[in-house]
């Protein structure tokens, strides 16, 4: 399944529908190659013709798409406290509801076993045959060695790689990626057009992650660990960061920091609708900010300003076309934009801010789940490394 003409499959997956000419441009392959490839995939019942496009002259081109239920991907989006899992078909559509599981990553020796149990439960409860699944795409925080298949921060297993261990127990191929890098992939493939070429994708979550798209490619750096935006040493606040250092951006601008500031403010007598909650969570703060609570908005605005200070550094170094706010916290939407823009204006050379667009993702809280799907699609060739090598150009 899906072991031939992977370049064409990727083109159809990311574009939903495409003509032969579209696919030729997307893949850089000749029209004869694309024509034969699509014919092969139609014989395998992987691709179907879906319509005829209007023509500006000459023969009207046929358009094609992948057949949705010929294969499925299991996307697993993890943060430090919660794991979300969804099944996605070959038209990039969620099949059923997103399943959520409380799963703490830090200081939890049973985390790997809990994760495998969650994965197996979703597959079994789906009613789909296991051989219909192409692979599992797992995205998570931490220092990810995607090449070897290990997370150097969480879910360590003895004597074998993380992907080997999960694949052995789940019975499916596994690919892993850092959550912020995966979100950047999702934004590039499915998000706003301004995210495709040169863009900084900010993952607003329990940390403040960064995925970088440079010249249309994901940039990971020499060792694969580029993008640790959360750990810019911006503050002299003496606060200990999760990385063990003090004063990182994360200590003032993450959702964890926002939660801590809300709790402290309420303890000191701050008037807010947040008082109705026994324990204030990031979700509570987001909900009340969206309803107009002044204290919740103030805390978010302060965090956003600090993020803008960090972005000023990125602007001077990278000069991106766009900055996209994505991840869990992006559902706050436009509340982020003004304080971030204010900080960038105050700390940046004007020429840099003038030509960089700041926007909120249109993918919302699904960005990381889509990143898991994209991680699988980008690695399909690993399921059969010979799939395209011998085919003529």
pLDDT at 381 over 90: no
Nearest in space to 186 (alpha carbons), one of 346, 327, 91: 327
**pLDDT, position 351:** 87
Split at pLDDT 50, 70, 90, the class of 54 is confident
Residue 82: CB partners within 8 Å, gap ≥ 6?
100, 101, 102, 103
Nearest in space to 285 (alpha carbons), one of 249, 261, 253: 261
C-alpha to C-alpha distance for 78 and 84, rounded to whole angstroms = 6
Split at pLDDT 50, 70, 90, the class of 56 is low
Residue pair 199/321 in contact (Cβ under 8 Å)? The answer is: yes
User: How many other CB atoms sit within 10 Å of the CB of residue 120?
Assistant: 15
Residue pair 285/299 in contact (Cβ under 8 Å)? The answer is: yes
Tokens at 330, concatenated: 């992006």
**pLDDT, position 4:** 79
**pTM of the prediction?**
0.91
Q: What is the dihedral of CA 283, 285, 288, 294, to 10 degrees?
A: -170
C-alpha to C-alpha distance for 369 and 54, rounded to whole angstroms = 34
User: How many other CB atoms sit within 10 Å of the CB of residue 35?
Assistant: 14
Split at pLDDT 50, 70, 90, the class of 222 is confident
Section 95-122 average pLDDT: 94
**pLDDT, position 390:** 40
**pLDDT, position 389:** 41
Percent of the chain at pLDDT exceeding 70: 96
pLDDT at 241 over 80: yes
Sign of CA dihedral 153, 155, 161, 162: negative
Average pLDDT along the chain: 91
Q: Considering only the C-alpha atoms of the chain, give the largest distance between any 2 of them, rounded to a whole number of Å.
A: 74
pLDDT at 262 over 70: yes
User: How many other CB atoms sit within 10 Å of the CB of residue 60?
Assistant: 13
pLDDT at 385 over 70: no
Section 46-64 average pLDDT: 84
Tokens at 167, concatenated: 């694949």
Sign of CA dihedral 107, 109, 113, 114: negative
Question: Over the stretch 276-334, which tens digit does the pLDDT of each residue have?
Answer: 998 999 999 999 999 999 999 999 999 999 999 999 999 999 999 999 999 988 988 88
**pLDDT, position 3:** 67
Which of these ranges, 21-30, 124-133, 188-197, 224-233, has the smallest mean pLDDT?
A: 224-233
**pLDDT, position 57:** 63
């Amino acid at each position: 399944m899906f072991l031939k003409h992977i370049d064409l499959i990727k083109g159809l997956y990311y574009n939903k529908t495409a003509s032969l000419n579209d696919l030729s441009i997307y893949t850089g392959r000749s029209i004869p190659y694309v024509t034969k490839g699509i014919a092969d995939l139609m014989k395998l019942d992987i691709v179907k013709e879906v319509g005829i496009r209007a023509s500006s002259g000459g023969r009207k081109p046929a358009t094609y798409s992948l057949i949705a239920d010929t294969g499925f991907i299991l996307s697993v989006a993890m943060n430090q406290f919660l794991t979300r899992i969804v099944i996605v078909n070959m038209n990039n559509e969620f099949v059923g509801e997103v399943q959520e599981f409380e799963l703490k990553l830090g200081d939890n020796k049973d985390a790997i076993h809990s994760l495998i149990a969650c994965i197996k439960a979703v597959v079994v409860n789906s009613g789909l045959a296991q051989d219909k699944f192409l692979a599992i795409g797992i995205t998570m925080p931490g220092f990810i060695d995607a090449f070897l298949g290990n997370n150097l921060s969480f879910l360590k297993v003895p004597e074998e790689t993380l992907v080997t261990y999960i694949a052995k127990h789940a019975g499916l191929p596994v690919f892993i990626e850092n959550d912020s890098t995966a979100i950047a992939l999702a934004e590039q493939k499915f998000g706003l057009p301004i995210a495709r070429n040169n863009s900084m994708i900010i993952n607003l979550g329990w940390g403040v992650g960064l995925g970088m798209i440079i010249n249309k490619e994901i940039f990971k750096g020499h060792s694969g660990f580029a993008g640790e935006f959360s750990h810019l040493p911006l503050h002299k606040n003496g606060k200990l960061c999760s990385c063990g250092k003090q004063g990182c951006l994360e200590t003032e601008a993450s959702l964890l920091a926002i939660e801590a500031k809300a709790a402290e403010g309420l303890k000191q007598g701050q008037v807010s609708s947040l008082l109705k909650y026994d324990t204030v969570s990031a979700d509570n703060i987001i909900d009340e900010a969206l309803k107009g609570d002044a204290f919740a908005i103030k805390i978010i605005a302060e965090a956003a300003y600090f993020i803008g200070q960090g972005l000023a550094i990125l602007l001077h170094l990278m000069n991106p076309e766009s900055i996209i706010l994505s991840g869990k916290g992006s559902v706050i939407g436009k509340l982020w934009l003004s304080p971030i823009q204010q900080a960038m204006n105050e700390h940046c050379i004007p020429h840099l801010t003038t030509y960089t667009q700041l926007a909120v993702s249109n993918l919302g809280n699904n960005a990381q789940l889509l990143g898991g799907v994209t991680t699988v699609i980008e690695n399909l060739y690993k399921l059969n490394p010979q799939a395209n090598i011998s085919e003529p150009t």
